[in-house]
Amino acid sequence: MAQPGGVRIGWADLPSPIQLDIEQIIGGGPIVAADSQAGGFSPGTADRVRAASGARAFVKAVTPALNQQSADMARDELRITAALPRHAASPRMLGGFDTGDWVVLVLEDIEGVHPRTPWVDDEIRATAAALRELATALTPAPIGGLPTVYEKYAEEFSSWDALAADVPADLDPWAAAHLDDLRAAADRGVAALVHGETLVHADLRADNILVRPDGDLVIVDWPHACVGPAWTDSVLLAINVIVHGGDPAPLLDGVDPDIVTGVLAGAAALFHHRCRQPPPPGLPTVRAFQRFQADALLPWVRSALSA
């Protein structure tokens, strides 16, 4: 499956006053080129733009009229990204604003490419090392007022309970027969998320990682950032490696295997539950991607529980 992606508006769809405010942040005159980027599910813009002077930036803008949740997430991202320390492997914030009708982030334009999927061993190892460095740089969490990983995911990682209460007819037969095991494993994973003081991204996939030409990694798209165990991002990124193909072992090195199995069992519950809900307004493709992840992750969980 290709990188996940929704249906976006582009630079040309922004109201003229919003465009002018963005041009003032970037400097260098009017925007003369805009290249929309694939990936992610926000219906808003994700454009690499170039001003007449040659100045470049990455512009994200969304209105609640397209999707209220996307606008709320953009507000979170605006606040979090602006507060990230300069030594973190994240894009530099050039500016941003929230008019109520539009939420806009103007970010450093990163020259880079996403890791390849299926994942390849050298990029997995490089990403694992970069995430360990990032966790060190963001411990203790340099931003206050954020939820914990437990608060963000505990309820949805316990979704095997809801699935057991009304077993879907299309649920994998092995999962249907082993719901007690899956629920117990997910409970262990949820319990492991309670402690920790590291600022974590909490939504890592290949499409929000950029590899610069020099090999350094930059982590983008921070609206879900929260506080939790230092291993959180490594274990959650292992999901992306598993579902797209690749060996997640370098990411999981040093993490208790029972915790890994529990967190991934919880993630499988989240995907299996969410993919059966109606699509959110303006996000017509997200449920299909959640179903893809659910179906691809479950065999790994089954193998881990059977070992």
Res 40 pLDDT > 90? no
User: What is this structure's pTM?
Assistant: 0.91
Which pLDDT score is estimated for 8? 83
The order of strands in the sheet holding 103-107 is 31-36, 45-51, 56-62, 103-107, 93-98
Burial of residue 211 (number of CB atoms within 10 Å: 0-12, 13-18, 19+) = buried
**3-state SS assignment for residue 109:** coil
Residue 295: enclosing H or E segment and its boundaries?
Answer: helix 286-306
Least confident of 1-5, 124-128, 130-134, 164-168: 1-5
CA dist 151 to 70, 85, 114, 199, 297, Å?
20, 24, 29, 14, 23
For 223-248, how does the pLDDT look when each residue is reduced to its tens digit (9 = 90+)? 999 999 999 999 999 999 999 999 99
Contact 209, 127 (CB under 8 A): yes
d(CA 216, CA 210): 8
Average pLDDT of every residue of the chain: 94
Q: For the chain, which domains are there?
A: 11-107 (3.30.200.20), 121-306 (3.90.1200.10)
Which pLDDT score is estimated for 3? 47
Backbone dihedral region for residue 217 (phi beyond 0: left; psi -120 to 50: alpha; all else: beta)? beta
What value does the mean pLDDT take over residues 192-212?
A: 96
Which pLDDT score is estimated for 2? 44
Least confident of 3-12, 191-200, 204-213, 231-240: 3-12
Res 139 pLDDT > 90? yes
